[in-house]
Each structure stands twice: as structure tokens, then as C-alpha cells.
Structure 1
Amino acid sequence: MNQSLITQEFGIIIAAKNHNPTLLNPDFLKYSGIVPTEWELARQPISTQNVSQVAFTNGVLIVAEPTRVIFIEAIEGKTAAELVVANIAKKYVQTLPNIEYEAVGLNPRSYMSFDQQQDAARQYLAETLLSPGAWQEVGTTPVRATLNLVYTLERCPFYLTVSEAALRNPDETSTPIVLFNGSFSYEVKSEVVAERIENLHQIIDNWQVDFATYQEIISTKFMAKVANNTTIVPNILTMDVGVAA
């Protein structure tokens, strides 16, 4: 069998007080210079008092809520030089500096597929990552698990959720996968507007180091736990950065 790790997306979530979701619309994004004017919409924007959403054909999605702004880019098949989500997030906060930004999450998401092995994803969580025991023998079907892990890094906490899912194929079949949702969580420390924006930019500028750390953790601590007779073919985003300590 053959496992591969596919990186789907990279997200930047900025927590904010009293953010007005109705500010987010295509005209605002383009006229303020946050996104290029030639970007095309992938679908009709959503705009309400509680949530606004703008999606572009290049895989960038921006969502605004009263307590946070979310920037997501689909990155499968892209190189580091092609990614734009970090610059978009920086331009957004620079355009709206007076919002009380409180925290930033840098969130990569990947999955490991198990082709033609319908129960392999469940077995990976229940038997490879977890120790066997009587706790797995309750009920009429095999137990299913989700792991929520917290790592204390020198620069910030790193949260990782490992869960079972399925990927829908064009022929209506499904491929079992294990999802790895990561989040590097940073506080925005300054109350002064200029310092707060600078702090935000510094955090976002560090995204490649955090992403390299995420890749190293998944590849060496989780992919390495697949059975020894499995060939592992990493298919993760190529980056010219070192892994953070």
C-alpha cells in the first residue's frame, strides 16, 4: 500500500473585537488594494450582519465575522512563491488598523490517504496512535477516535487535531483519509495601534517557519508511525526554509 500526505490549505485566523462583517465585499477588497483588481469571483459573495464571505477562483477565501476574520488559501499543487494569503491578511489589517485585533492563528491542514483500504484510517488512529485496551471494546462497531493534542513550543502553543474522514471521489466512491488540522496560536500584545499592526505583521511573516515546523512534525512523528512495510510518498508543499527548533 502507498500513503501520501497532501497539504490542502493554509489559513490565517485573526481574532478581533467588534469587527463589522459588512465591511467585507469585493469592491472594498479591490479598491483598497487588498486584492488585485483582476481577481475573479468563484461564486456570489455572501453579506449579512453576522458573516460575510468572498471567494476567488485562485483558491483564496475571506470570511468576516464579528469576532474574527478568516483568510484561507487552497495550496495543493502550489509552490511557496505562489502563495498569497499571508500578504492578503497583512494588507487587510493595514487597511483597517483601528480594529482591536487580539490574536492570530496560523493554520495548515493536510490529509493522509489510504487508497483501497476502507478501514485503514480508523485503524491508524485506534491501533497505531492509541494503545489497545478494553476501552476500545465497547459497542457493536469498532471505536472511532479523534485526537486533540497541544504542544508547547518556545514561541507559541501548537494545537493539532488528528481525525478520520473520507474523500469523495468523482465516481461516487470514497477514500478513507486521516486529517491533520494544525494551529499555531499567537497573542497580539500591544494596545497601541501602530505597534499592534507591526506585531500582527511580524507574526504573519513567520508563517513559513511555522509551516515547516508543522511539516516536520507530521512527516517524522505521524507518517513514521505507518507500518514499516508501507512506502511513504510525501506530497507536501515545497519550501526553501529550515525547520524551526
Structure 2
Amino acid sequence: MRTGCETTRFPHMRGLLLATTENSRTRKRFCGVQWDDNLKYAIDTYILIIKETNMEAKLRRADIVILASAHNPSIMAPQWLKDKSLIVEEPTQFVHTPDFSLFESESFLLVVDNQRMQITVKKQDNRSVESLANIASNYLKLLPHIPYKALGLNFVWSIEVDDGKELPKIELNINKSDLMSVFEGREIECGGIIYARKEPYMLKVVIELRGEDVIVHNFNYNYELEGMSVEDIVKLVNNFLTMKEDSSSIVKGLYSIGEK
């Protein structure tokens, strides 16, 4: 049975997160200090205890989501994307309706409906990630009249261990009570959700176990856009590579591992 444990946003509940493996030395991390003194965490106490093992971090996915009052999916034809120098690659898959469009090429996946546009890069090298940001920023410049509502800069990182090694085990205590004992007699796998605010964004990190040798970290940097100019929104999008490095440093800071 797979169980996800969420760190609470209520100030009267104090969260204690523990991660352990079987070998090497143990270190304590007080996340509010280690990550950034300016971050305002949604939980009071959050301690990560790690016994080091041989792990590596991999970027699995990167995408940009733009919410708006009125996207126009009907214009997202392959020729329009090429003419506007957004995506010049030929489509491998294409769906085009007045209310929904999907364009997939060798390097990108673009999905648009009336309120949501998501652009995903299918390669995770820095050049491809930068190209993704350029597509999003050029789209915004082409259509400055659309009322944009929110922006999501999203990254999925995984950590993996070698065969035969154990992943860190995550446990959650609330008010010094052992939450795991509530589920006595059940097989428990515990993840977590972390909220961290740093102007101008709210960061949400979802940590989940995937099988016996992978932990997945979903990063969502969420920006509220109402009242902002397109020029200012473009500046946020152009920070995409910077936020990729920020998410990488958080993952590596949690586990003291290298990036592959």
C-alpha cells in the first residue's frame, strides 16, 4: 500500500521529517536555515536526518504553465508556430480544435485550451531548457493583450540509489507524536509536501517514493500575474534556468548528492 504524508500548513502543528539509511555517517539539516534565510516555511520545525549513501540526482521533466482568461487554441497551427518562430520543428502529433490544441515535435510538447497553456521540453539539457523559456516568452510578447493570471515554472527531479542500496526513509512526527504508529500493521511509504514563499513566488515541493529505488521531487514555482505587465511576466519566464538551478540545489542540499 502506498501512502503519502503531507506536511501541514497549520502553525500549531510542528512537523519533524526524518530520512535514514543503513550506512555511513548521520547529518542533521534544519531546512529553514540551510536553504535560504528569506524563505518563509509553512511548517514550524523541519529536521532532515540523513545517513549518506551513494545516490544521484536527475532532472526528469521541465515545463512552463501559463494560465489566462482567454488563450486562443485555434491559432496554434504548425504553420503559425513556425511563422512566428515559436517552434520550427515539424509535428509528430497534432490536434487542432477551437477549444483545444496539441502540438508535439521531437523536442517539445505544447498543449493549450482556453485557460491553460503548458509547454514541456522533452530533453533536459540546458540548451533545450533555455529554448523552452524562449518559446514561452516569445508567445507572451506576441499576444500581450491576453489577460494572464498565473505562471508555473516546473521541474521534476529524481534521486536514485544503486541496486541493493536503500533509499532514505521518510517519517513524519506531529507535535512529537509518532504518526507512523497510527498505521500499525500496514506497509507504509511516506512522502511530503513543502510550501516555501519567497517573493515573487510560492514554491511547492512534492516528495514521493516511486518503487524501492527512486524518490521523485516535483517543484512548482507559482507566480500570480494579475496586474503585471507582459514585460514583467517575460522577465519571470526568463529566470527559468535560474529556477532550474535553484531546484537542483535544494535536492542536492537535502541529500548531498551530485547531479547527473
When residues 17 and 136 of structure 1 are mapped into structure 2, their CA distance, relative to the original with a 3 A threshold, is: farther
Q: Could you give the per-residue CA deviations for residues 15-53 of structure 1, whole angstroms, max 9, x where no partner exists?
A: 1112232332312211222222xx132x32123455321
Are 1:79 and 2:112 matched, yes or no?
A: no
Are 1:9 and 2:61 matched, yes or no?
A: yes
Q: Distance in 1 between matches of 2:110 and 2:138?
A: 13
Name the counterpart of 1:142: 187
1:158–1:182 Cα contact (<8 Å) kept: yes
Name the counterpart of 2:100: 51
| 1:152-191 paired onto structure 2 within 5 Å | 152-166=197-211, 176-190=213-227
Q: Could you give the per-residue CA deviations for residues 191-211 of structure 1, whole angstroms, max 9, x where no partner exists?
A: xxxx62112111111222222
2:193–2:206 Cα contact (<8 Å) kept: yes
Name the counterpart of 2:31: none
Are 1:109 and 2:156 matched, yes or no?
A: yes
5+ long unaligned stretches in structure 2: 1-52
Measured on the aligned residues, the alpha-carbon RMSD in Å equals 2.5
When residues 57 and 17 of structure 1 are mapped into structure 2, their CA distance, relative to the original with a 3 A threshold, is: same
SS of the equivalent of 2:141 reads helix
How far is the alpha carbon of 1:97 from its aligned partner?
A: 2.2
Q: Distance in 1 between matches of 2:73 and 2:252?
A: 37
Name the counterpart of 2:116: 68
Q: Distance in 1 between matches of 2:184 and 2:123?
A: 39
If the length of structure 1 is used for normalisation, what is the TM-score? 0.73
Q: Distance in 2 between matches of 1:186 and 1:133?
A: 35
Are 1:24 and 2:76 matched, yes or no?
A: yes
How far is the alpha carbon of 1:81 from its aligned partner?
A: 7.4
When residues 189 and 234 of structure 1 are mapped into structure 2, their CA distance, relative to the original with a 3 A threshold, is: same
2:219–2:247 Cα contact (<8 Å) kept: yes
5+ long unaligned stretches in structure 1: 167-174, 225-231, 236-245
If the length of structure 2 is used for normalisation, what is the TM-score? 0.69
Q: Distance in 2 between matches of 1:213 and 1:72?
A: 19
Q: Distance in 2 between matches of 1:2 and 1:51?
A: 45
Name whichever structure is richer in helix by fraction: 1
How far is the alpha carbon of 1:117 from its aligned partner?
A: 4.5
Q: Distance in 1 between matches of 2:249 and 2:129?
A: 21
When residues 56 and 125 of structure 1 are mapped into structure 2, their CA distance, relative to the original with a 3 A threshold, is: farther
1:114–1:176 Cα contact (<8 Å) kept: yes
Are 1:94 and 2:94 matched, yes or no?
A: no
Are 1:205 and 2:238 matched, yes or no?
A: yes
SS of the equivalent of 1:83 reads helix
How far is the alpha carbon of 1:160 from its aligned partner?
A: 0.7
Letter paired with 2:202: P
Are 1:233 and 2:258 matched, yes or no?
A: yes
2:78–2:90 Cα contact (<8 Å) kept: no
How far is the alpha carbon of 1:62 from its aligned partner?
A: 1.0
Q: Distance in 2 between matches of 1:136 and 1:143?
A: 10
